[in-house]
């Protein structure tokens, strides 16, 4: 069972104006409002006159617990647009139709949502949604450039199925989870990781026995995927090097999929010269078959009487000399006994700046769960034992430490 939703960074206690304009993708905005609210934001929904043709206020009010706004001149509150604009920490327009983009680019204030845009100092994210021909039109492209010049942020559009009968093309609004991720990056604002390059490894590796069988482990990759998502949300450029995993690629993250420990080593080594931080959350196999069979081993033929193993490449040790000076390296240690003691030895042996240790035998921690209980170890610093928490929160605690380590490395001695 998934853990209950709790307010999370950076949505906790923040105000988001969600503007919904009149396109068929307006139905997705209901899910956006729900996810933002579950993440901890107070969501003020503004529906344009066109949006009311597709969705109704009651749906949003039931999910956000807040009134929905539709009029520039509501009875008894002539300054509603100023109040919404002033109180907002971010404004998200999803969907943003071609018509609304044109009005926003022209600086019009002929409805409540347009007036909020002119009055707010909060960052604004547009999520375009329209027919691909409308998106390709020079006027729309010019409006998009103008909005970017003003300082508004554009998220999408995606390429995919359009309205019935229109096939596929660029113009589809990005999905609600992607919109929430962009809202999070916007709310996070420029911080210590903004403009930095972070390499994250995740998942297990598969070491082939024959073309259809392999040695592996039960890692889902969730911890590394959460770290990658959180680093992108904080403004970093992120490369995620992932073994086989059922998880979707985090929004905004460059994903490189690999199978074996040797493939992971090669990708990480090539990426490290440009990286400010490496977070090795992958559960890399320690051993691989010494002589993988070229053909499937048949049970009828006796199979194998023994399987000779040899050590795989130690990615952290093998890439040590590829690291950029001043970069931060984070390792993980999954143990089943004497976790902290074994972790301290690994911290020193591999020259790490930070080691994240957890016990695979503890309920709610380790593989195939959404929570973790870890201890953070650093040279010359006291151990920090974290309580059981969602892996998304563990990721933020790890990145808090990465930011501190990067700041210290930047200060001359």
d(CA 342, CA 16): 45
> Active site includes 217?
yes
Angle, helices 80-87 vs 112-119, to 10°: value is 50
- DSSP state string for 176-226: HHHHHHHHHHHHH-S-TTTT-EEEEEESB--EESSSS-EE------HHHHH
Q: Which of 192, 195, 180 is nearest to 229 (CA)?
A: 180
Find where tokens 């959404």 sit: 370
Q: Enter the DSSP assignment of 384.
A: E
Given the residues 217, 342, 358, 372, the one annotated as active site: 217
Could you tell me whether strands 375-377 and 384-385 are parallel, antiparallel, or unpaired per DSSP bridges? antiparallel
Computed over its alpha carbons, how large is the radius of gyration of the chain? 25
φ, ψ at 202 (rounded to 5°): -155, 160
Catalytic residues: 217
């Amino acid at each position: 069972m998934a853990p209950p939703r709790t307010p999370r960074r950076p949505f906790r206690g923040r105000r988001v104006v969600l503007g919904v304009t009149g396109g068929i993708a307006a139905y997705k905005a209901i899910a956006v409002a729900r996810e933002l609210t579950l993440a901890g934001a107070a969501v003020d929904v503004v529906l344009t006159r066109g949006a009311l043709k597709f969705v109704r206020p009651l749906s949003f009010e039931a999910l956000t617990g807040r009134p929905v706004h539709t009029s520039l001149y509501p009875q008894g509150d002539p300054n509603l647009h100023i109040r919404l604009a002033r109180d907002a920490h971010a404004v998200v327009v999803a969907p943003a139709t071609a018509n609304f983009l044109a009005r926003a680019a022209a600086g019009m204030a002929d409805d409540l949502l347009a007036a909020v845009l002119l009055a707010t100092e909060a960052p604004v994210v547009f999520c375009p949604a329209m027919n691909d021909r409308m998106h390709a039109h020079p006027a729309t492209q010019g409006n998009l450039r103008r909005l970017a010049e003003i300082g508004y942020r554009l998220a999408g559009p995606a390429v995919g199925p359009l309205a019935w009968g229109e096939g596929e093309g660029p113009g589809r609004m990005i999905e609600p989870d992607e919109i929430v991720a962009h809202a999070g990056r916007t709310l996070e604002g420029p911080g210590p990781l903004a403009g930095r390059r972070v390499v994250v490894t995740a998942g297990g590796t598969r070491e082939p026995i024959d073309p259809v069988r392999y040695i592996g482990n039960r890692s889902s990759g969730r911890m590394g995927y959460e770290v990658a998502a959180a680093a992108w949300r904080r403004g970093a450029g992120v490369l995620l090097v992932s073994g086989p995993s059922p998880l979707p690629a985090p929004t905004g993250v460059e994903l490189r999929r690999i199978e074996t420990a040797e493939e992971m080593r090669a990708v990480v080594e090539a990426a490290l010269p440009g990286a400010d931080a490496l977070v090795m959350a992958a559960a890399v196999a320690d051993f691989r078959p010494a002589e993988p069979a070229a053909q499937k081993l048949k049970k009828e033929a006796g199979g194998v009487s023994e399987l000779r193993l040899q050590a795989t490449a130690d990615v952290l040790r093998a890439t040590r000399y590829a690291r950029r000076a001043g970069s931060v390296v984070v390792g993980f240690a999954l143990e089943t006994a004497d976790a902290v003691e074994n972790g301290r030895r690994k911290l020193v042996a591999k020259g790490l700046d930070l080691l994240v240790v957890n016990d695979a035998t503890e309920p709610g921690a380790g593989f195939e769960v959404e929570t973790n209980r870890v201890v953070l170890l650093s040279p010359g610093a006291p151990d920090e034992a974290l309580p059981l928490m969602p892996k998304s929160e563990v990721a933020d605690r790890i990145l808090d430490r990465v930011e501190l380590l990067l700041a210290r490395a930047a200060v001359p001695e």
